[in-house]
Amino acid sequence: MDNGNRDPQPGGISIGTMHGSAVAQGSHAKAVNVTQSTADASELLAAVTALRDHLSVLGDLDAQLAAAQGEITATGEITAGRLEWLRDRIAIGATAATGLATAGQAAEQLARLIAGQV
């Protein structure tokens, strides 16, 4: 690999680019590579679990909204049962905003785990 590095000199080594590795040279040399994650996987699990919980409360909101559009387009009205269901989900929808914040936390945990493994 040529990254502008010089060729190895007698008794030496040349490394272009290296990530997550260790190199040793010589008869008594020892190479040790220790990778530590900067985030605990249990934190990621908690963030993913919370996100799924928050988003699951909305159920099949998109399908119900599409059905509501169809009803309103066809009849100019919406059935009371669907209206109540939508009202309940929209009220719970504030939880979706919390869920998006949780998604941000999950993304941070993933980034930390990835950074610790690179």
**Burial class of residue 42 (count of CB atoms within 10 Å of its CB; 0-12, 13-18, 19+):** exposed
Q: Which is higher by pLDDT, 101 or 38?
A: 101
pTM (predicted TM-score):
0.38
Residues in Cβ contact with 6 at an 8 Å cutoff, skipping those fewer than 6 apart: 14
Q: What is d(CA 96, CA 101) in angstroms, rounded to the nearest whole number?
A: 9
Residue 75 has a pLDDT of 92
Position 113, amino acid: L
Residue 74 has a pLDDT of 93
State mean pLDDT over 23-45.
72
Q: Which is higher by pLDDT, 81 or 97?
A: 81
Residue corresponding to tokens 């040529």: 2
Helix then strand count (H, E) for the chain reads 4, 0
What's the residue count for the chain?
Answer: 118
Q: What is d(CA 113, CA 118) in angstroms, rounded to the nearest whole number?
A: 9
Is 4's pLDDT higher than 60? no
Residue 36 has a pLDDT of 57
